[in-house]
Amino acid sequence: MPEIVYLNGFFLTKNKALISPDDRGFNFADGVYEVIRYYKGQPFLFDEHIRRLERSLNAVKIVFNDTHELQNIFNRLILENRLNNLYAGIYLQITRGSAKRTHHFPKENLQCTIYATAFEKKPMLKQLKTGIKVISRPDIRWLRCDIKSIALLPNTLIFQEAVEHGADECILIRQGNITEGTHSNAFAVKNNKVYTHPDGNLILSGITRIAVRKICSELNIELIEEPVKQHEIHNYSEFFLTGTGNEIMPVVQIDNYIFGNGIPGKITREIQRAFFKHTYEQLAGEIIGI
Ligand code: PMP
């Protein structure tokens, strides 16, 4: 079955979706994106994703007033690609549009380019159960990591290093602090308290991170938003990452340091279980055995 995508008002097969070489997304990475998880047709924290999209658009001064139409577009993409009974994701990209290449914004009122795709995204059951290994690298990104910009070259370069080292993600270090992962937020546990880098310009405010905040308050687990120092990591008993793709992912090893006895920690498991209740159970009506 050919993949159906959305481009600028039309649903069409992917091979017919043509974007101008003058698109400012192509020339300058002048655009923003979102990824939303769909649990058997039900989106996860849809409104929060739209709010973050609006913040990103405002931050880069792209005018797009039709966010209220996105839900219908995404639902149709899920249906047309027969993903309504599966675990899936929507990728949305909005660029400033297409115009003669100039560094400043074009003078004419540009039509933004709106592109969205739907894809199957199975739960990463094995890794969610056993946990993953990660490496650490300097955070070489810019100082507006709060914008979900399509300019992801630093993230891809660093993640490639993780892949080449047989690791599943790379955590980023800025001035001795763990900021986040290349495509995930980072959390560490000490004395049953959860620590994570505060919101601000140095991390992306993850939607899964919002869910973790809520779960911690429901479970009476203290969540402290202050940076974890890389050189103090051996004082923490557990570590996990969060993201639309990897959900609540236990980390059992950072570089050469192994947490506990190399299996996911108790607090991580509690948060993971509560997250699965909100997603697989409540949205999809399925209990996944981890
Ligand atoms: N940080 C970065 C740099 C990311 O790319 C992502 C994934 N989009 C996240 C954190 C996690 O965000 P979310 O939970 O919204 O997927």
Q: What is the pLDDT of residues 107-127, one digit of tens each?
A: 888 999 999 999 999 999 999
Output the CA–CA distances (angstroms, integers) from residue 49 to 23, 66, 103, 147, in the order listed. 24, 14, 29, 13
Percentage of residues in the chain with pLDDT exceeding 90? 97
Nearest to 280 by CA among 166, 128, 164: 128
- The pLDDT of residue 270: 98
Percent of the chain predicted with pLDDT > 70: 100
* Mean pLDDT, rounded, for 104-109: 89
Distance, in Å, from the CA atom of 31 to the CA atom of 25, rounded to the nearest integer, reads 6
pTM: 0.98
Residue of 168, 171, 195 lying closest to 181 (CA atoms): 171
Q: Residue 232 has what pLDDT? A: 98
Residue 266 to residues 67, 155, 223, 239, 260, Cα–Cα distance (Å)? 40, 30, 15, 11, 11
- pLDDT (mean) for 168-176: 98
pLDDT of residue 1: 86
Instruction: Give me 9's structure tokens.
Output: 């008002």
Q: Which of 49, 183, 197 to probe ligand 1 with, by most ligand atoms within 8 A of CB? A: 183
What pLDDT band is residue 52 in, cutting at 50, 70 and 90?
very high
Q: What is the pLDDT of residue 260?
A: 85
pLDDT of residue 289 exceeding 80: no
pLDDT of amino acid 109: 84
Q: Write down the pLDDT at residue 119.
A: 98
> Is the beta carbon of 179 within 6 A of some atom in ligand 1?
no
Residue of 184, 214, 240 to test ligand 1 pocket, by largest number of atoms within 8 Å of CB: 184
What pLDDT score was predicted for residue 253? 98
Q: 107: CA distance to ligand 1 center in Å?
A: 33
Q: Work out which ligand 1 atom sits closest to the CA atom of 210.
A: 14
Across 252-262, average pLDDT: 96
Across the chain, what does the average pLDDT equal? 97
Ligand 1 binding pocket includes 185 (Cβ within 6 Å): yes
Instruction: Supply the residue whose CA is at minimum distance from atom 8 of ligand 1.
Output: 183
243 pLDDT above the threshold of 90: yes
pLDDT surpassing 80 at residue 216? yes
Quote the pLDDT of residue 224. Answer: 98
Nearest protein CA to atom 10 of ligand 1, as residue: 184
Q: Is the Cβ atom of 149 under 6 angstroms away from ligand 1?
A: no
Distance CA 286, CA 239 (A): 27
